[in-house]
Structure 1
């Protein structure tokens, strides 16, 4: 049957009718049955078709069967984040015309979306995923689960935690058998502020990555486990710092500088939470130095850097304002509205405009966080607003907000 599909593909490519292909070889009816896989035919006919089409049908058949292996290797290389291998396999697949008639065309389209997500190219990834959902109402189990997994990754990248969970929980792991899914689920739970569940799924994914010797994903899983683990007292915190430093060393050994930037950012946040602003500032700065300036990752660390300087009184007001305007400019250029909100809030804090700060929080920030599914940010700022109402002795508003938070 597959050979018939190959013969039909190259016949149409050569702009030949079935009658023209079969002329002097067999009837056009027989050609039709061969192309549909409904009849047996001799190797002599295969050879004659090959000569007329200017191909070797047997070699093309071997290439056809190799498509699945190439796609599996491409997916595996993306999971392992082997950049050179990813590009090599991508180029091979792009030059493979038989994908269009193979049983793996949908998988190829999905893996193209995965490639874009890996490079944070969200628009082309979203376009591919939407087209697949529109074109194919019923997908094979693996492709269906992969589609949901990639959609979950997309929504996480957009920080829409609600939609991320909606798609991720619909995955049937028995059909999917891709244990990287557990790491994505851990990331979603972390974003939602559920530390216990984030740790559970990160640990679950870690066992798989250790078995498969996937060092880069081991870093990701261990990083989530570190973030979610509580540290009581100085000794516990020092041990945690040592584990972060071990992860940084692993990143250096693997030349995984993007991951190193994230580890530095998370370590900076640990020190920020302990009010050790000098150290937090230094680590945020190191993280920013490793990041592409026009990226959401850079803006996140820039925000942390500014907060550390502001809370630790480590930088003059004018310098802080300059950094905030730099962040605002980048956020507008990148059309990252969430960061525009964050930097506007920082600007109010720097200028001690507390009334304006909370007005902007109530009228702009919180509605946007809720509408866009930014669960963790919503919780963080609602808690801040609650304390503001208590401090202002606005008990009814504080109770209303507290009831709302508990209901959510």
Structure 2
């Protein structure tokens, strides 16, 4: 069953004709039939052909049979976010030529997209997505649902949250046993500020992660649930939940997750105007991140904002930090952070007109394009208040209308 496929693969790899391969062993016509599984053949012929191709046919058959097992393992470590093992398996599979003739080539490509997205390589991921879309009708029912999951993760990476929800909601659970997608649904609903749905799907994902004993991902789900609670009286319960998550991160030796928890705790303080603790937690979060990374820039923006509104640092120091953030964002061509740090620079320098002009002409259209719901609402409120102060009634009314009729 496997011999013919393997012989054909290596013959074509070495750019040999069927006649060249069979010279002195058998006819090219016979090799054609072996490759197409259209004839019986003596084991000795396969042995001679394998020797000419310089392969061990038994080892090649074992490797081909093991591909699905290796892909399933790769899938598991991707779900569990075990990056070292994920990278090692990716490297091994890249060296495995026989994937190209296996029955699981589509599964490999779909998992490859997940892997690339885990490493923020969205353009490379898109190339494979486009390739798969052309033969989507040939996917198995499981692969079709995995493809929808992959699309959902891709749309999340591109901040196209409504598209992400549409793709993830179309997954058929009867064909797809990886309930990790409910976590991505929760993230998408959180991004469009739909806390009830975000909490619901985060809780479903938490149950799934518990079932597979994936405690790091349980932390992810519980953190997502914690930040959906907006009105909790004196805020003590939310603080306790975050503190418990921080301890869990320490116990699991996961500084990356601890950085996320600290950032979200900082934001919860910031939106309640508790600027000093917000500033403290943003700084702690930054200390656990690569200062060239996007997550670092996100926490730096929060750190500067909390210090500015809480009058916690001198303005010249704040401006220096904003310029450093802008410089990194420009180097990485991170348009979101270019906008945010440019706004901060104007804010710190009390350039009110320049700030609101940039916000109106550049930042708000950008936030709308990529669906940054929180930033859109914040920007509209700021522009409404500014136009009202400037007695620009027409513009204020237009912005008020946009605030009321949120689409």
Same fold (TM over 0.5): yes
| Rounded Cα–Cα distance in structure 2 between residues aligned with 1:78 and 1:137 | 23
Of residues 24-33 and 299-308 in structure 1, the stretch that sits farther from structure 2 once superposed is 24-33
Secondary structure of 1:154 counterpart = helix
Is the CA contact 1:162–1:375 (under 8 Å) kept in the aligned structure 2? no
Structure 2 residue 341 is matched with structure 1 residue 360: no
| Rounded Cα–Cα distance in structure 2 between residues aligned with 1:131 and 1:208 | 31
Question: Measured at CA, do residues 380 and 142 of structure 1 come closer, stay the same or move farther in structure 2, by a change above 3 Å?
Answer: farther
Is the CA contact 2:11–2:53 (under 8 Å) kept in the aligned structure 1? yes
Deviation at 1:183, TM superposition (A): 0.6
Query: Could you list the per-position Cα deviations for residues 54-104 of structure 1 after superposition, in whole angstroms to 9, with x for gaps in the alignment?
Result: 333233112101111101111110110112321332232122111121122
Secondary structure of 1:171 counterpart = coil
Higher relative contact order (CA 8 A, sep 6+): 1
Query: Could you list the per-position Cα deviations for residues 362-381 of structure 1 after superposition, in whole angstroms to 9, with x for gaps in the alignment?
Result: 11111122223333322332
Secondary structure of 1:202 counterpart = helix
Deviation at 1:230, TM superposition (A): 3.0
Q: Give the CA RMSD over aligned residues.
A: 2.3
Is the CA contact 2:113–2:128 (under 8 Å) kept in the aligned structure 1? yes
1:371 aligns with 369
Deviation at 1:124, TM superposition (A): 2.8
2:221 aligns with 221
Of residues 345-354 and 160-169 in structure 1, the stretch that sits farther from structure 2 once superposed is 160-169
| Rounded Cα–Cα distance in structure 2 between residues aligned with 1:332 and 1:34 | 58
1:125 aligns with 125
Q: Work out which of the residue numbers 245, 248, 251 in structure 2 matches 1:250.
A: 248
| Rounded Cα–Cα distance in structure 2 between residues aligned with 1:14 and 1:343 | 55
Is the CA contact 1:161–1:375 (under 8 Å) kept in the aligned structure 2? no
Deviation at 1:13, TM superposition (A): 3.5
Is the CA contact 1:268–1:283 (under 8 Å) kept in the aligned structure 2? yes
Of residues 185-194 and 106-115 in structure 1, the stretch that sits farther from structure 2 once superposed is 106-115
1:312 aligns with 310
Structure 2 stretches of 5 or more lacking a match?
none
| Rounded Cα–Cα distance in structure 2 between residues aligned with 1:2 and 1:383 | 65
Of residues 59-68 and 160-169 in structure 1, the stretch that sits farther from structure 2 once superposed is 160-169
Structure 1 stretches of 5 or more lacking a match?
none
1:113 aligns with 113
1:346 aligns with 344
Deviation at 1:311, TM superposition (A): 0.7
| Rounded Cα–Cα distance in structure 2 between residues aligned with 1:124 and 1:230 | 38
| Rounded Cα–Cα distance in structure 1 between residues aligned with 2:122 and 2:151 | 11
Deviation at 1:395, TM superposition (A): 5.2
2:95 aligns with 95
Of residues 202-211 and 75-84 in structure 1, the stretch that sits farther from structure 2 once superposed is 75-84
Q: Work out which of the residue numbers 375, 378, 387 in structure 2 matches 1:380.
A: 378
Is the CA contact 2:232–2:238 (under 8 Å) kept in the aligned structure 1? no
Of residues 351-360 and 192-201 in structure 1, the stretch that sits farther from structure 2 once superposed is 351-360
Of residues 112-121 and 381-390 in structure 1, the stretch that sits farther from structure 2 once superposed is 381-390
Deviation at 1:26, TM superposition (A): 4.2
Question: Measured at CA, do residues 351 and 14 of structure 1 come closer, stay the same or move farther in structure 2, by a change above 3 Å?
Answer: closer
2:330 aligns with 332
Pairing of 1:152-171 with structure 2 (within 5 A): 152-171=152-171
Pairing of 1:141-290 with structure 2 (within 5 A): 141-234=141-234, 237-290=235-288
Is the CA contact 1:183–1:202 (under 8 Å) kept in the aligned structure 2? yes
| Rounded Cα–Cα distance in structure 2 between residues aligned with 1:149 and 1:193 | 21
Deviation at 1:189, TM superposition (A): 0.8
Deviation at 1:257, TM superposition (A): 1.2
Pairing of 1:60-75 with structure 2 (within 5 A): 60-75=60-75
Query: Could you list the per-position Cα deviations for residues 146-187 of structure 1 after superposition, in whole angstroms to 9, with x for gaps in the alignment?
Result: 333333323322333344344434433433332111111111
Question: Measured at CA, do residues 212 and 97 of structure 1 come closer, stay the same or move farther in structure 2, by a change above 3 Å?
Answer: same
2:401 aligns with 403
Question: Measured at CA, do residues 306 and 217 of structure 1 come closer, stay the same or move farther in structure 2, by a change above 3 Å?
Answer: same
Is the CA contact 1:199–1:225 (under 8 Å) kept in the aligned structure 2? yes
Pairing of 1:46-57 with structure 2 (within 5 A): 46-57=46-57
Of residues 18-27 and 86-95 in structure 1, the stretch that sits farther from structure 2 once superposed is 18-27
1:136 aligns with 135
2:295 aligns with 297
Is the CA contact 2:329–2:335 (under 8 Å) kept in the aligned structure 1? yes
TM-score (norm 2): 0.91
| Rounded Cα–Cα distance in structure 2 between residues aligned with 1:123 and 1:14 | 31
| Rounded Cα–Cα distance in structure 2 between residues aligned with 1:370 and 1:139 | 36
Deviation at 1:385, TM superposition (A): 2.7
| Rounded Cα–Cα distance in structure 1 between residues aligned with 2:338 and 2:164 | 23
| Rounded Cα–Cα distance in structure 2 between residues aligned with 1:343 and 1:14 | 55
| Rounded Cα–Cα distance in structure 2 between residues aligned with 1:13 and 1:273 | 60
TM-score (norm 1): 0.91
